[in-house]
Amino acid sequence: MKTNFKYPILYTFRRCPYAMRARFAIRSSKIKVEIREIKLKEKPSEFLKLSPKGTVPVLITNSGEVLEESLDIIYWALNKNDPHKWLAKGKLENQEIIKLLDDLENKFKPNLDKYKYPSRFSGVDQYLHRDKNLCFLKKLNSYLENNKSLNCEHLSLLDYAIFPFVRQFRNVDQDWFDKLNFIFLNKWVNQIIDSNDFSSIMKKFKKWEPNDVPIYTYFE
């Protein structure tokens, strides 16, 4: 594999919550990347050679290392530059943070998929899976009762790692979500949605083709 890239290469899909995580971190760290926006229904062969599992985000570092997990990309970026102190020690112990992220990945996300895409699964009750996620949302709301963020005094890694999935859950039926008695969670979601960070990482890029002129950005 070529290892003298001008900038790291990021394969992404705009609406994917995992890819949003990576773009948030790259914007925060101000690390310029070559962005390659792909369609998940039309995955380019070059992308699949790098990452046969075919999920985004995927980042190729300048040295040619391939990072296929969103949290790995977040830590890669922040360990290079963390001007907004995403990695700062907050009120939660490491074990609590690990437990939250594990519950997000192994409980909240599977239920979200069955709620958002019930036709992809056999014999599921989408509303049962919707309601199974209320416990997790209630926990987030309690963390936010006296804080504008989940862990630190400012928005940090935990907020940006969890937000894309809560947003996706809300978007299935926003009227229903907004009527939940999760006042602090709603404020937190809207705080991020209304931010320059969110509007910047959600800018649209044309679908990447192998012979395209590279597009470089840190989602400024």
User: E-strand spans in the chain?
Assistant: 9-12, 33-37, 58-60, 66-67, 216-217
Task: State residue 5's pLDDT score.
Answer: 74
On whether both 132 and 38 belong to a single domain, the answer is: no
Is the confidence at residue 166, as pLDDT, over 70?
yes
How many percent of the chain have pLDDT more than 90?
96
User: Whole-angstrom Cα distance, residue 69 to residue 15?
Assistant: 16
Helix (H) or strand (E) run with residue 24 in it: helix 17-29
Is the confidence at residue 87, as pLDDT, over 80?
yes
Give Dmax (Cα) for the chain.
52
Per-residue pLDDT averaged across 15-31, rounded?
98
User: Whole-angstrom Cα distance, residue 150 to residue 91?
Assistant: 9
Contact 41, 207 (CB under 8 A): no
User: Per the domain annotation, does 1 fall within a domain?
Assistant: no
On whether both 99 and 77 belong to a single domain, the answer is: no
pLDDT band per the 50, 70, 90 thresholds, residue 1: low
Q: What is the pTM of this model?
A: 0.95
On whether both 21 and 50 belong to a single domain, the answer is: yes
Per-residue pLDDT averaged across 155-177, rounded?
98
Report the candidate in 120, 214, 202, 207 with the shortest Cα–Cα distance to residue 163.
202
Is the confidence at residue 190, as pLDDT, over 80?
yes
Average pLDDT, the chain: 96
Specify the pairing of strand 58-60 against strand 9-12.
antiparallel
Task: State residue 2's pLDDT score.
Answer: 55
Show the domain range for 130. 94-198
Q: What is the CATH number of the domain that holds 150?
A: 1.20.1050.10
pLDDT band per the 50, 70, 90 thresholds, residue 4: low
Task: State residue 152's pLDDT score.
Answer: 96
Per-residue pLDDT averaged across 18-33, rounded?
98
On whether both 100 and 193 belong to a single domain, the answer is: yes
Domains identified in the chain, total number: 2
On whether both 121 and 179 belong to a single domain, the answer is: yes
